[in-house]
Amino acid sequence: MPVSPRVPDPRLPKTCIIGAGSSGIAVAKTFSEFGIPFDCLEKSDRVGGNWVFKNANGMSSAYRSLHINTSREKMAYSDFPMPASFPDYPHHEQIAAYFDAYADHFGIRDRITFDCGVKRAEPTGDGLWWITLESGEQRLYDALVVANGHHWDPRLPEPGYPGVFDGKQIHSHAYIDPRDPVICRERNVLVVGFGNSALDIACELGHKGVAKKVFLSQRRGYWVVPKYAAGEVLDAQIAHPSKDPAWMQRYLPAPLLRWLAEKQLESTAGRPEQFGLTAPDHAFLTTHPAVSQELYVRIGSGDIAPKPDVRELRGKQVVFADGSIEDVDIIIWATGYKISFPFFDEGLIAAPGNDIALWKRMIDPRFLNLFFAGLVQPLCAMMPIAEEQAKFLAHYLTGHYAIPPVEMMQAERIEMHERVKRGYVSSPRHTIQINCGEYTVDLRRELAKGRKRAAAHGYILPIEPRVIRPSPKATVAA
């Protein structure tokens, strides 16, 4: 049965949520349950963000054959399971339909303004937020939640490689299938990168009758984990972070746990260098591992030729770090994404080199009415984490959670950021990495502490509602 949303409480701060992807709708649903007044502004014409194939906002990275790489049970929101009829690893069309069903079930679709891009977000002199829409309309809010995602702004290698390439080049963000946007059939294709998209695309193009030759270049070695192990989905032994957040808490030290997991992976799937790939130069789980059930089969079948890093581009040839030279017609740069906030002035909020340190991965202590949702790189799925963040923020905005002193927040955000840097390989891919279980436990512990502080302070609202409530769609004059 659909859930009726709670009537917004005018005594609570009016909040703007930018984005209605998997994180934005989790925030909208939770705020609706808490009675927090909000507008959710979505640049596209539907919910789902990155999972909407050929999204009207032009920001989706979904290719035609894309499936999830975490199982449906671990990807689902805790109170809205995916249909049992879905396969273990659903296709992007099923995931997009799931997000649509979520929005309808919890009655938040009418609270989302579609085809509504945000051009500018800026703080006022007295602590409110001016939101300027792409239409030119301006709105004023007591608080702002940014949920615009971080897998939509393509990042190319920096610095670029020497030389000039005379063939065709695209970023994996633009890849749809072997014929769109470039014809890869019967062409020599080089895929540069080793993330999940790189492996999916290389495997798809590597099948006989598709590309003529496929080369897969990696700058460094990465671990590869299969989607199935011992007849079960990869994460079968891992509890849902929202339901059992302590699944990663163990009595053994982290290095020993990583070593044991590495040995188990070696005994089941093997090591990358056994298949001609670059050997990892780091311990297992100190980088985001690549997930593929097919890669080793394609390499073993001669359909994909592993290559080291690119050394030079030479017309229609590419020179690699080992001195080998290959004729290449097309390069697909699967080299990740930049963390971007196009509506903020760079002097206000930015993430140069994807480096951004936020308290609990959500709050810049300079702005206690500005929050970020889903700005993490989890080893689990995003949805359970977005739920936890949404609940945390809802307790804060309703006065049922009180933050610690700002000086403590500043120290804790730096300590967490530096700890992550020490625990993972230095790379733009790992600047916002989290361990899902540890992060969820930490958020819940902090929420418990903050609830006690709030009770001691008499449940005072941290952000007073000062914005006059306009009717929906109304414009607030500057």
pLDDT tens, position by position, 103-117: 999 999 999 999 999
Q: At what angle do helices 22-34 and 92-105 cross, to 10 degrees?
A: 10
Please report the domains of the chain, with CATH numbers, ordered by start residue.
15-153+337-456 (3.50.50.60), 156-226+269-333 (3.50.50.60)
- Alpha-carbon span 106 to 117, nearest angstrom: 23
State both tokens at 448: 């418990």
Question: 388, exposed or middle or buried, with CB in 10 Å at 0-12, 13-18, 19+?
Answer: buried
Provide the CB-side half-sphere exposure for 470 (13 A, CA). 12
Which ranges of the chain have pLDDT less than 70? 236-254, 468-478
pLDDT at position 474: 34
pLDDT at position 5: 81
pLDDT at position 244: 63
pLDDT at position 243: 66
pLDDT at position 239: 58
pLDDT at position 287: 81
- Alpha-carbon span 80 to 224, nearest angstrom: 30
State both tokens at 371: 């929050």
Q: Give pLDDT tens digits for 129-168.
A: 999 999 999 999 999 999 999 999 999 998 889 999 999 9
**pTM confidence score:** 0.92
pLDDT at position 168: 98
The two counts, helices (H) then strands (E), for the chain are 9, 25
